[in-house]
Structure 1
Amino acid sequence: MKTLEANHIILRKLTLDDAEKVEEYASDYDVAKTTLNIPHPYPKGGAQEFITSILEAEKKGKIAIFAITLKDNNSLIGLINISGPNASRRAEIGYWIGKPYWGKGYGTEAATAVIKYGFEEMKHNRIYALAFTDNPGSWRIMEKAGMKHEGVLRQHAVRDGKPVDLTYYAILREEYTG
């Protein structure tokens, strides 16, 4: 897998050495509540298991996952992934940023770099992402990365035992290249 570079960040291969930082950020309720998949409370040692399973999925070509790191000191600040090649040539991206790094543009830089990777390296035709409707920070990242709002999926998922609405954004290859 390639290393991707943006203005202030580098996206590199995720490793088991990242488990401590992943666990630290994922354990923050404010981070966990913005995702469908991060449990709260986060289980001790959960990051090791997560990284092991996601790297296995990556080996099988199901996903590409990157550690988001600061260019100036290589500190891990979050994760971003994109689903692998498929017959429909579409991919989903998902990401989270550690709370100390919110609002600094790192999510937008990461999403923009992964969208480029998805179109140019993985040859996808459509890239999409979803966020909770009450998480404007996430859907603003999608907008700034060039994605267009396509609608709201009402009660599409369950978080903390309650149905939640997800807002849906996507970008097409022709919009990316156009």
Structure 2
Amino acid sequence: MFETDRLVLRPFEEKDAPAVQTLTSNIELARTTLHIPYPYPAGYATHWIASCKDRLKKGNSYSFAIILKETTELVGCITLTVALNHKRGEIAYWIGKPYWHNGYATEATIRIIEFAFHQLQLNRVWACVMTKNKASIEVMKKSGLLYEGTFPQHVLKWEQYEDVSYYGILKDQYEKIS
């Protein structure tokens, strides 16, 4: 569990399933993410939370519920998927639409980057984003991730090819700016 000024990042619990189900059932959220299906299947949140717990036990993926300190509302998710053999981690996140444009994703991402470099001793952290997701690109930039390149028509989302940009930072780059 981690804290920031406004957030608590903690492992998901079964009780979070209704909030996850509600927040991820939004077409606008699903449209700009790589792995959230739409329509979000009924009961899928419970299955997904169980899979998060399994991956956490294996030590190769850390999924955290993003919780507002003041209200204890679940507003989103941030995950760090680790390739230990390469000492790198991929960050992915989503914020429910009612909570967009409040800086929560940036605040959570900054804390997870710190966790990756300080606690896990990773050498590299990276993230990818569909180029049409301008808000997420801003999160990556504000979090200190650096643009590394764009892969044209890299993923197929809803029968449409999407360009994907990659952002990342090395531990020595991070230490210079932190």
Deviation at 1:85, TM superposition (A): 4.7
- Name stretches of at least 5 consecutive residues in structure 2 with no aligned partner: none
Equivalent position amino acid for 1:127 in 2: V
User: More helix by proportion, 1 or 2?
Assistant: 2
Per-residue CA deviation, residues 118-152 of structure 1 (Å, 9 max, x unaligned), is 11111110000011100010010000000100110
Match of 1:151 among 128, 144, 149: 149
TM-score by length of 1: 0.96
Deviation at 1:161, TM superposition (A): 2.0
Equivalent position amino acid for 2:48 in 1: F
Deviation at 1:84, TM superposition (A): 2.5
Residue 49 of structure 1 is matched in structure 2 by 47
Per-residue CA deviation, residues 8-28 of structure 1 (Å, 9 max, x unaligned), is 111011111100000000001
Match of 1:18 among 16, 28, 31: 16
Deviation at 1:74, TM superposition (A): 1.1
Residue 171 of structure 2 is matched in structure 1 by 173
CA RMSD of aligned residues (A): 0.9
Equivalent position amino acid for 1:164 in 2: E
Take 1:81 and 1:150, find their aligned partners in 2: how far apart are those partners?
20
User: Does the 8 Å contact 1:85/1:122 carry over to 2?
Assistant: no
Deviation at 1:6, TM superposition (A): 1.0
Task: Tell me which stretches of 4 or more aligned residues in structure 1 moved more than 6 Å.
Answer: none
User: Does the 8 Å contact 2:12/2:52 carry over to 1?
Assistant: no
What does 1:5-154 align with in structure 2 at a 5 Å threshold?
Answer: 5-154=3-152
Equivalent position amino acid for 2:130 in 1: F
Equivalent position amino acid for 1:177 in 2: E
- Name stretches of at least 5 consecutive residues in structure 1 with no aligned partner: none
User: Does the 8 Å contact 2:76/2:96 carry over to 1?
Assistant: yes
Percent of aligned positions with the same letter in both sequences?
39
SS in 1 for 2:106: helix
SS in 1 for 2:86: coil
Take 1:67 and 1:89, find their aligned partners in 2: how far apart are those partners?
24
